[in-house]
Amino acid sequence: MTELDLQKLGVRGVNSALHGLPEGANAQDWLISNPMGQHAIACGLDAPLKVTIDGHVGFYCGGMNQQAEITIQGHAGVGVAENMMSGQVRVKGSASDSAGATAHGGLLVIEGDASSRCGISMKGVDIVVGGSVGHMSGFMAQSGHLVVCGDASDALGDSIYEAIVFVRGKVAGLGADCIEKEMRPEHLVKLAELLDAADIDADPGSFRRYGSARTLYNFDIDNADAY
């Protein structure tokens, strides 16, 4: 494992080292020490690297990730794994607002809690939260899966499209056009796969499924109050 001391190299130096590797380089395992809550650490990676960040990070850590496996040994600020395309980002602690925002693919695991708007406008990513999520999580979520092992705050799934939300705990309130749906066998299978991938021990049968009522797709005068 190669260590990059962010205190000495700075964010630009650390990211340059990770981006500057020749294709097929053998040095695949990296440790970023002394992250000091700095922003934009390990952003835009596009190689099958394994990166461990030893501490807390600021905004947009792991953003635009492709292929890399990033583990944050602490808490994460706003927008962790924002616009991720593939690979995996794991937060060993909790995450602030907009975790996984607009992400198209890959797996985001937050072992603690996530704040508001977790999975906002998600476009294919799978997000598994070991704890609870804040208000408006899954807002305008288009595709992918959001798994919440704890509770969900107000306006869950507001204006949701075709993403699927699983919640084990209490839901304070559903957003516009989000409803509870039947948990069918195929959903239990998929949920079990996601929990296994996230290394979270939970019974899929203890979750409920939420998704779009599909009343906001096209304007309908009968639904005018919901717009």
- The β-bridge relationship of strands 164-167 and 208-212 is antiparallel
Domain span including residue 124: 94-216
CA distance 221 to 9: 59
pLDDT in tens, 123-179: 999 999 999 999 999 999 999 999 999 999 999 999 999 999 999 999 999 999 999
pLDDT (0 to 100) of residue 78: 98
Q: Is residue 146 part of a domain?
A: yes
pLDDT (0 to 100) of residue 221: 62
Q: Is residue 55 part of a domain?
A: no
Q: Is residue 134 part of a domain?
A: yes
96's CB contacts (< 8 A; 6+ apart) are 75, 76, 77, 78, 79, 80, 115
Q: Is residue 104 part of a domain?
A: yes
Q: Is residue 5 part of a domain?
A: no
189-213 mean pLDDT: 97
Q: Quick check: 226 pLDDT over 80?
A: no
| CA 188 from centroid of its chain's CA atoms | 20
Q: Is residue 105 part of a domain?
A: yes
Q: Quick check: 225 pLDDT over 80?
A: no
Question: Which residues on adjacent β-strands are paired with residue 210?
Answer: 165, 180
pLDDT in tens, 5-57: 999 999 999 999 999 987 766 568 999 999 999 999 999 999 999 999 999 99
Q: How far apart are the first and last CA of the chain?
A: 53
Q: Is residue 207 part of a domain?
A: yes
State the DSSP H helix or E strand holding residue 69, giving kind and residue range, or none if neither: strand 69-72
Tokens of 82: 């924002």
Q: Is residue 30 part of a domain?
A: no
State the DSSP H helix or E strand holding residue 33, giving kind and residue range, or none if neither: strand 29-33
pLDDT in tens, 66-117: 999 999 999 999 999 999 999 999 999 999 999 999 999 999 999 999 999 9
Tally of domains within the chain: 1
